[in-house]
């Protein structure tokens, strides 16, 4: 039996899916949230196919999970109107609500979200093929992120609940909302990464248009009621449909104040240019990345191998922070590859619900063919697939390939493969990987593997100015979520961390006056009569 045939056996029949991991039924979404209502949809729908195939008498078929609306420009513009009206030029109920009450709404939403955990986690797994364990982690991490956001906002608000006096001027400085936010998340963390922008955007008093990711759409459906019940009408509005049909008119309207997107720099560039007044548009973007690992002669190879596996193959390499190119010193290259191959061979592949599974089917239909194209191109330019069965494709599944030696002629040298392929480049002079990072269009993170103090120190200083995070003897990653997550060049715009995101989705406004008896009296009267939510010394406990 060929390895491909062996791989195909990982897919099971409908009856063999363990009941506790199966969806209770297909989910056919026929409504969407707009202006506080779940509006009915009777138009076109998109059929959601899982990356997980099912053995049927007619052969392997991607399991049908359900359908969702493919709305048009008309519904998108209605949602825009709802968000604009709810914001009401900053005079709406939500943007003027005090922070304590906004926090209460988000807390209520979170309670209702937690009640939907079971179905949301299953949908993450079925829609994008993420292992069940990682799907649970994604959900829990998101809930933790929301609570951390609430705590961070309380802190910010406490610091703002006092007056500052400088040069005879007294002022109260607070963070205030920006307006209407268009929020789009990625498929690889369809819940978590979407919510790391959506929640800070809402909690700061903005109103929202939210387009769920292309893969990972249905998992948001069970949360729509929670949004509807937790926030005033028009604060959260969903838009469904093909991006190229519904997004241009939103941007061209000039009514979007903030664009937040985790996706490709190409799309972000196009969208920004559609806005008639780019200076009025704030962009908070998490974009492409091609994070490199640099493994020097002085590295602990075992550690470097373990971290390379985690960095390049967690969720099949579909992380923006994944290690997507590995530079290894030629003196240790053979040993590194040998150990890497053993580690890859030890990874369990299979269905996402299987215990301990690392490698699972891929959600993007074109991905297996694209990865094969990258591997073929590397082979045509002098590289080899070093591990047994590397690159074998079985329907939606791709077995990881260690490709070596990669050089600048190959696609894998520059393109973000976003899948289970590990390109390894051999270097003799440390200047080679440093120059690679200088020439790269990306600038998110790098991982250095070395135990030599001088060598490590000399790499840190040039590299912190190429990327936004230098990881020592460990893989690249976003977390902990309190650390700044950003990138240089085409990798990001703005910074996301629990606190930074609150800053990104708001602007400081202040009320200031000359400190004289008349103004002292005026300020005291306003504060004591609690007539303003902004000019207030209320302290959130
Ligand atoms: O896809 C990019 C994510 O932000 C990566 O997050 O490093 O925690 O997996 P992570």
265 falls within a domain: yes
Ligand 1 pocket test, pick from 446, 469, 478 with the greatest ligand atom count within 8 Å of Cβ, gives 478
393 shares its domain with 268: no
| Residue at which a domain ends, from 286, 311, 332 | 286
CA nearest ligand 1 atom 8, residue: 478
Length of the chain, in residues: 541
41 falls within a domain: yes
CA nearest ligand 1 atom 7, residue: 477
Measured from the CA of 193, which atom of ligand 1 is nearest? Answer: 4
Give per-residue burial for 186-224: e unless 16+ CB within 10 Å, then b. bbbbbbbbbbbbbbbbbbbbbbbbbbbbbbbbbbbbbbb
Q: What is the pLDDT of residue 406?
A: 98
* Interval between CA 15 and ligand 1 midpoint (Å): 34
Residues 6 or more apart whose CB falls under 8 angstroms from that of 221 comprise: 27, 29, 68
Query: How do 169-176 and 164-166 pair as beta strands?
Result: antiparallel
459 falls within a domain: yes
340 shares its domain with 227: no
CA nearest ligand 1 atom 6, residue: 478
Measured from the CA of 314, which atom of ligand 1 is nearest? Answer: 9
In order, the DSSP letters of 506-540 are -EEEEEEEE-SHHHHHHHHHHHHHT--SSS-----
Which residues constitute the domain of residue 167?
3-286
207 shares its domain with 280: yes
Using CA atoms, how far apart are residues 203 and 235, in angstroms rounded to an integer? 10
Q: What is the pLDDT of residue 529?
A: 97
Mark residue 107 as left, alpha or beta (left: phi above 0; alpha: psi -120 to 50; beta: remaining): alpha
129 falls within a domain: yes
Residue closest to 198 by CA, chosen among 137, 247, 146, 134 = 146
* Interval between CA 134 and ligand 1 midpoint (Å): 12
129 shares its domain with 276: yes
* Interval between CA 485 and ligand 1 midpoint (Å): 9
* Interval between CA 484 and ligand 1 midpoint (Å): 12
* Interval between CA 39 and ligand 1 midpoint (Å): 34
Whether the Cβ atoms of residue 415 and residue 371 lie closer than 8 Å to each other: no
Ligand 1 pocket test, pick from 133, 313, 319, 467 with the greatest ligand atom count within 8 Å of Cβ, gives 319
510 falls within a domain: no
* Interval between CA 400 and ligand 1 midpoint (Å): 19
411 shares its domain with 266: no
Measured from the CA of 479, which atom of ligand 1 is nearest? Answer: 8
| Tokens 């596996």 belong to residue | 309
* Interval between CA 499 and ligand 1 midpoint (Å): 17
* Interval between CA 111 and ligand 1 midpoint (Å): 25
Q: What is the pLDDT of residue 299?
A: 98
Ligand 1 pocket test, pick from 142, 185, 190, 193 with the greatest ligand atom count within 8 Å of Cβ, gives 193
Q: Provide the terminal-to-terminal Cα distance of the chain, rounded to the nearest Å.
A: 66
Q: What is the pLDDT of residue 110?
A: 98
Mark residue 382 as left, alpha or beta (left: phi above 0; alpha: psi -120 to 50; beta: remaining): left
* Interval between CA 318 and ligand 1 midpoint (Å): 9
* Interval between CA 212 and ligand 1 midpoint (Å): 18
| Residue at which a domain ends, from 286, 302, 321 | 286
87 shares its domain with 150: yes
∠ Cα 534 536 537 (to 5°): 140
147 shares its domain with 276: yes
Q: What is the pLDDT of residue 1?
A: 81
Q: How many domains does the chain have?
A: 2
User: In CATH, what number is assigned to the domain containing residue 416?
Assistant: 3.40.309.10
CA nearest ligand 1 atom 4, residue: 478
Ligand 1 pocket test, pick from 189, 315, 417, 468 with the greatest ligand atom count within 8 Å of Cβ, gives 189
* Interval between CA 321 and ligand 1 midpoint (Å): 5
* Interval between CA 245 and ligand 1 midpoint (Å): 29
Using CA atoms, how far apart are residues 144 and 140, in angstroms rounded to an integer? 6
Measured from the CA of 186, which atom of ligand 1 is nearest? Answer: 1
User: In CATH, what number is assigned to the domain containing residue 74?
Assistant: 3.40.605.10
CA nearest ligand 1 atom 2, residue: 320
471 falls within a domain: yes
Mark residue 242 as left, alpha or beta (left: phi above 0; alpha: psi -120 to 50; beta: remaining): beta
Whether the Cβ atoms of residue 307 and residue 449 lie closer than 8 Å to each other: yes
- What's the maximum distance between 2 C-alpha atoms anywhere in the chain? 91
143 shares its domain with 281: yes
* Interval between CA 28 and ligand 1 midpoint (Å): 30
3-state class of 274 per DSSP? Answer: helix
89 shares its domain with 7: yes
443 shares its domain with 463: yes
* Interval between CA 356 and ligand 1 midpoint (Å): 20
Measured from the CA of 141, which atom of ligand 1 is nearest? Answer: 8
311 shares its domain with 253: no
- Catalogue the long-range contacts made by 336-340 (C-beta closer than 8 Å, 24 or more residues apart): 336/295, 336/301, 336/304, 336/305, 336/424, 337/386, 337/402, 337/404, 337/424, 339/301, 339/302, 339/305, 340/305, 340/308, 340/309, 340/386, 340/387, 340/402, 340/422, 340/424
Partner residues linked to 497 by β-bridges? none
Measured from the CA of 478, which atom of ligand 1 is nearest? Answer: 7
537 falls within a domain: no
Partner residues linked to 511 by β-bridges? 172
515 falls within a domain: no
Measured from the CA of 315, which atom of ligand 1 is nearest? Answer: 9
Quickly count: other Cβ atoms within 10 Å of residue 3's Cβ: 12
Residue closest to 203 by CA, chosen among 280, 160, 147 = 147
In order, the DSSP letters of 326-371 are EEEEHHHHHHHHHHHHHHHHTS-BS-TTSTT--B---S-TTHHHHH
**231-249 per-position pLDDT tens digit:** 999 999 999 999 999 999 9
Using CA atoms, how far apart are residues 118 and 526, in angstroms rounded to an integer? 48
124 shares its domain with 179: yes
Residues of the chain with pLDDT below 50 are none
Whether the Cβ atoms of residue 55 and residue 63 lie closer than 8 Å to each other: no
* Interval between CA 366 and ligand 1 midpoint (Å): 22
Structure tokens at 129: 């093929």
Measured from the CA of 477, which atom of ligand 1 is nearest? Answer: 7
Measured from the CA of 189, which atom of ligand 1 is nearest? Answer: 1
Find the residues whose C-beta lies inside 6 A of ligand 1: 188-189, 193, 319-321, 477-479
Residues 6 or more apart whose CB falls under 8 angstroms from that of 247 comprise: 76, 182, 211, 271
| Residue at which a domain ends, from 475, 491, 507 | 491
Using CA atoms, how far apart are residues 313 and 209, in angstroms rounded to an integer? 33
């Amino acid at each position: 039996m060929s390895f491909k045939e062996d791989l195909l056996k990982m897919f099971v029949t409908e009856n063999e899916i363990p009941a506790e991991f199966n969806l209770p039924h297909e989910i056919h979404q026929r409504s969407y949230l707009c202006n506080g209502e779940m509006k009915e949809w009777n138009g076109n729908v998109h059929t959601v196919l899982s990356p997980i195939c099912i053995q049927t008498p007619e052969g392997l078929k991607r399991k049908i999970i359900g359908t969702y609306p493919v709305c048009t420009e008309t519904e998108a513009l209605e949602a825009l109107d709802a968000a604009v009206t709810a914001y009401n030029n900053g005079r709406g109920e939500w943007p003027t609500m005090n922070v304590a009450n906004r926090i209460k709404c988000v807390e209520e939403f979170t309670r209702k979200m937690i009640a939907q955990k079971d179905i949301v986690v299953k949908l993450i797994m079925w829609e994008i093929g993420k292992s069940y364990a990682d799907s649970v982690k994604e959900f829990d991490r998101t809930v933790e992120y929301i609570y951390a956001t609430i705590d961070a906002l309380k802190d910010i608000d406490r610091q703002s609940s006092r007056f500052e006096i400088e040069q005879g001027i007294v002022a109260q400085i607070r963070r205030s909302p920006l307006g209407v936010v268009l929020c789009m998340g990625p498929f690889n963390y369809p819940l978590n990464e979407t919510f790391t922008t959506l929640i800070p955007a809402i909690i700061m008093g903005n109103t929202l248009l939210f387009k769920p990711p292309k893969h990972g759409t249905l998992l948001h459906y069970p949360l729509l009621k929670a949004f509807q019940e937790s926030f005033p009408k028009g604060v959260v509005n969903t838009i469904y449909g093909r991006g190229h049909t519904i997004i241009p008119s939103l941007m061209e309207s000039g009514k979007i104040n903030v664009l937040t997107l985790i996706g490709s720099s190409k799309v972000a560039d196009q969208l920004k240019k559609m806005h008639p007044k780019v200076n009025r548009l704030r962009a908070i973007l998490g974009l492409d990345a091609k994070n490199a690992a640099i493994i020097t002669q002085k590295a602990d190879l075992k550690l470097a191998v373990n971290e390379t596996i985690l960095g390049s193959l967690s969720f099949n390499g579909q992380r923006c922070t994944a290690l997507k190119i590995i530079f290894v010193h030629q003196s240790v290259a053979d040993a590194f590859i040998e150990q890497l191959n053993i580690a890859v061979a030890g990874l369990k592949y299979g269905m996402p619900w299987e215990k301990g599974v690392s490698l699972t089917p891929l959600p993007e239909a074109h991905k297996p063919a694209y990865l094969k194209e990258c591997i073929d191109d590397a082979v045509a330019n002098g590289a080899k697939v070093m591990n047994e069965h590397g690159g074998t494709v079985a329907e939606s599944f791709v077995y990881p390939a260690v490709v070596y030696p990669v050089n600048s002629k190959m696609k894998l040298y520059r393109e973000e493969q976003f899948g289970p392929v590990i390109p390894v480049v051999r270097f003799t002079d440390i200047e080679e990987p440093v120059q690679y990072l200088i020439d790269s269009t990306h600038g998110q993170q790098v991982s250095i593997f070395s135990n030599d103090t001088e060598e490590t120190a000399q790499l840190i200083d040039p590299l912190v100015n190429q990327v936004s995070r230098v990881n020592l003897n460990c893989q690249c990653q976003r977390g902990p979520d309190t650390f700044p997550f950003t990138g240089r060049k085409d990798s990001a715009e703005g910074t996301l961390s629990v606190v930074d995101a609150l800053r990104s989705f708001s602007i400081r406004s202040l009320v200031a006056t000359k400190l004289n008896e008349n103004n002292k009296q005026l300020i005291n009267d306003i504060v004591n009569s609690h007539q303003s939510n902004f000019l207030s010394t209320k302290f959130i406990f």
